[in-house]
Structure 1
Amino acid sequence: SQFMDQNNPLSGLTHKRRLSALGPGGLSRERAGLEVRDVHPSHYGRMCPIETPEGPNIGLIGSLSVYARVNPFGFIETP
């Protein structure tokens, strides 16, 4: 868990749309290889390929694309 960035309304919205492959049931920074961190064709329209942090979390933390949404079953949908 982390505190929400409240510098401006846009940063708060971006923080709420963040995706992570880390945590329980996910990956660890040490075990994640280049294949996991790279952009996959199934991410098209669902995850932004540009907005990812630099450093050890690159490719493991991302953001939803503009029109993507999470359905009630937990899947990411795109129009």
Structure 2
Amino acid sequence: MSVMSKPDDDPENPEWTAADFARARPASELPEELRAFFPKTRGIQKAPTKIPISLRLSAEVVEHFRATGPGWQGRIDEILKKAAGL
């Protein structure tokens, strides 16, 4: 497919029809050996406990916490809770 082609011009990726949607099933219904290829996600929270915000932090702070590995944002949250006396 050339850069100027439209997505619907791609024969390997045709637009879905009503019949395609009718046959579609959630990934959870696939055999386990196929589900292994899908990324694990948390899904929708039943009762959201955190609020997404935009926050500016110094590069040094972000680098320090990112270097501690996965969960670094949660660790920042814990430190802020302690600082706020919560």
TM over 0.5: no
Q: Which has the higher contact order (CA 8 A, sep 6+)?
A: 1
TM-score range, shorter chain: under 0.3
TM-score (norm 2): 0.23
Larger Rg: 2
Which of the pair is proportionally richer in strand?
A: 1
TM-score (norm 1): 0.24
Which of the pair is proportionally richer in helix?
A: 2
